[in-house]
Amino acid sequence: MSDMATATTGMNTDTTRPALDRTFSVAPMMDWTTRDYRAFARTLTRRTLLYTEMVTTGAILHGSPRERFLGYDDVEHPLALQLGGSDAGALAECAAIAEAWGYDEVNLNVGCPSDRVQNNLIGACLMAHPEKVAAAVAAMREAVSIPVTVKCRIGIDDQDEDADLAHFIERVADAGCEVFTVHARKAWLEGLSPKENRDVPPLNYGRVHRLKQQRPDLHIGINGGIKTLDECQAQLEHVDSVMVGREAYQNPWLLADVDRRLYGKDAPAADRHAAAEAFRPYIARRLEQGAKLNHMTRHLLGLFQGCPGGRKFRRHLSEHAHREGAGMAVFDDALGLVPRPQDTSLAG
């Protein structure tokens, strides 16, 4: 895969990237949607909109080197940067930096429920401050020409899922936001852990569907608990786009049929082996740059889920990829433990 040979080490000036289409996206997930995962995802889908992990404004403005927080590979486009923050000036400055680095979209996190971000007025707690979010969106839009979008919940704690969500969307839309991706659960900032907030609050897809009916002028995407492309297609009968999170990470082969099913385009990988082999040049280049093998291969552990030899593949990488000096041979040996579709002699 020749595209894997091109890296972005600073600002990106590529003007031939695919047009932005939000029909399907992979959710921003801390420690998961790293640049290595995103590069691997591109061996499976060319059309999916990919998101970075949430990056705080403080990390971008004060962290060093900036490449650590903003670096990516050109193959990752279309690519959105998710920002965490609440200060309008800082968010505007970071949005401008994101545009200069070549990101296709900048997204404001109004959905993360962790204690750490709450203490800094970041994430889901901002749903209680629609005026602050609106001011941030207005400032960001003034600073950039790329889209400024918002990812939020249907509410927090004792908020009314109808009235309070409607007010939040109205106020932020008035500030110029035209694209909202809504996680169809409340976030309970009091009483539930961040992990529990991903599963315990009940899903309310109907509320997001009604939001689209009430605001046909806005792009409304849905997120939360969606695990199959059949479910995605069903959701697209009601909303404009679908965002999938953990399933796209833990079972990455889900992405392999996205281009065909949802975009009517050919898939880049004929099979799982082809996807793994297409990732080899990227792994080799990152190893030359000093990256650790396990930082890349940990994102492939679910690639052969349910396949003969899949557990051997996962075990070999888990046991060997983290070792000092682990290189391409470890990856190739793991791949050799999985029979190709026409070869079942290695199954076990």
Catalytic positions:
112
| List of residues 6+ apart from 206 with CB closer than 8 A | none
Rounded Cα–Cα distance for residues 181 and 222 (Å): 6
Rounded Cα–Cα distance for residues 202 and 199 (Å): 7
Do residues 119 and 168 touch, judged by C-beta distance below 8 A?
A: no
DSSP 268: S
Rounded Cα–Cα distance for residues 16 and 306 (Å): 37
Tokens matching residue 214: 């009430």
Rounded Cα–Cα distance for residues 295 and 301 (Å): 11
How many Cα atoms within 13 Å fall on the side-chain side of residue 232? 24
Rounded Cα–Cα distance for residues 27 and 15 (Å): 25
Tokens matching residue 317: 């990488």
DSSP 196: G
Handedness of CA 125, 131, 136, 138 (dihedral sign): positive
**Which burial class, exposed, middle or buried, applies to 313 when counting CB atoms under 10 A from its CB (0-12, 13-18, 19+)?**
buried
Torsion on CA atoms 156, 158, 161, 165, rounded to nearest 10: -50
Q: What are phi and psi of 148, to 5 degrees?
A: -110, 120
CA–CA distance from 136 to each of 60, 67, 164 (Å)? 16, 24, 19
Tokens matching residue 207: 């509320």
Question: How many other β-carbons are positioned within 10 Å of the β-carbon of residue 6?
Answer: 12
